[in-house]
Amino acid sequence: MTEIERIADQLRRAYEGEAWHGPSLREILSGITAEQAARRPLAQAHTIWELVLHITVWESVAFRRLAGEALEPTGEQDWPPVRDSSHAAWKKTLDDLDRGHHQLRQAIAGLTDARLNDPVPGKGYSVYFMLHGLIQHDLYHAGQIALLKKALIS
């Protein structure tokens, strides 16, 4: 197995299952309603919906950086507001997350191990560092979502 294949496997496991640590992001999101995703059980914390939008942004940023774009999201781009809390909007949010994640995985699958040492456009770190950081980022926020889900269901 190449290093790219190992990274892609870790990203897949963190996202959709068979992760060593426990439930993946999609497993944690399973069964969460639009109403639950929009609720704020902790006054100073982000909602589940906000966290999902944020994860989606950063998977898109990684995808675009792999394509050569020097990109730094603004504050509102980094944490997009939830403007519509309907069931249809929540479904679209989850569909966007899935689509962006699969697009990123396809881009990663097209890389060679030699690309891992390349610098990320506009950044002082490598593609290798960015991809591992993205996996850590997704898991960090998945843990937050798991805690918020427990607070909502308890």
Q: Which two tokens stand for residue 77?
A: 């781009």
Task: Provide the whole-model pTM.
Answer: 0.96
Percent residues over pLDDT 70 in the chain: 100
Q: What is the dihedral of CA 16, 21, 22, 23, to 10 degrees?
A: -30
78 CB-near residues (< 8 Å, 6+ apart): 54, 57
| Secondary structure element (H or E) that encloses residue 33, with its range | none
Q: Which two tokens stand for residue 29?
A: 């999101």
**Strand partners for 126:** 119
Number of domains observed in the structure of the chain: 1
According to the model, what pLDDT value does residue 68 have? 97
Q: What is the pLDDT of residues 10-37, one digit of tens each?
A: 999 999 988 888 899 999 999 999 999 9
Q: What is the pLDDT of residues 107-153, one digit of tens each?
A: 999 999 999 999 999 999 999 999 999 999 999 999 999 999 999 98
Domain that holds residue 129: 3-153
Q: Are 109 and 8 a contacting pair, CB within 8 Å?
A: yes
> What is the rounded distance in angstroms from the CA atom of residue 49 to the CA atom of residue 81?
9
**Strand partners for 119:** 126
CATH number for 148: 1.20.120.450
Taking alpha carbons only, the member of 101, 50, 37 closest to residue 80 is: 50
